[in-house]
Amino acid sequence: MIKVFYGRKGMGKTKQMLENANNIVKNSSGNVVYIDDSSELSVKLSHKIRFVNILDYPIFGSEAFLGFLCGVASQNYDIETIFIDGLTYIIHQSPESLKEFFDGLEKIAEKNNVHFYISINGDETMIPEFIQKYI
């Protein structure tokens, strides 16, 4: 399962992501991972959530990030949910260029039974068609 929160900066996407992460970990029998490009939010997350500051790793572009996510999912079969806050900030690409990324993410989600929650900054009136099914 992939769920996308899409909208302009300041629309409350991160707040929704934090609330969802903290609520899911309460009832989860598996592990929850939260990926962001800053450590600021780590204090707002339950201590049960594995926080990853992506800037600690040399990830450049959607292909490298997809490989990183494959590694995260494959190294721990207990991962149930992965939150990715600010996808376009992490990979430095526009939402329109992410079709192959989402195709790959679907495969990871299905093969590993992992749920993905992703926030993307962009104009909500111009959501790419391939992303709309995840909104």
Query: Is the pLDDT assigned to residue 105 strictly greater than 90?
Result: yes
Q: Are the C-beta atoms of 92 and 61 separated by less than 8 Å?
A: yes
Mean pLDDT across the stretch 88-112? 97
**How many alpha carbons fall within 13 Å on the CB side of residue 117?**
22
Domains, the chain:
2-124 (3.40.50.300)
pLDDT exceeds cutoff 90 at 77: no
Q: How confident is the model at residue 72 (pLDDT cuts 50, 70, 90)?
A: very high
Beta bridge partners of 36: 53
Q: Alpha carbon of 21 to those of 64, 97, 105: distances in Å? A: 24, 27, 19
Span between the terminal Cα atoms of the chain, in Å: 11
Q: How confident is the model at residue 76 (pLDDT cuts 50, 70, 90)?
A: confident
Q: What is the mean pLDDT of the chain?
A: 96
The string of pLDDT tens digits covering residues 15-42 is 999 999 999 999 999 999 999 999 998 9
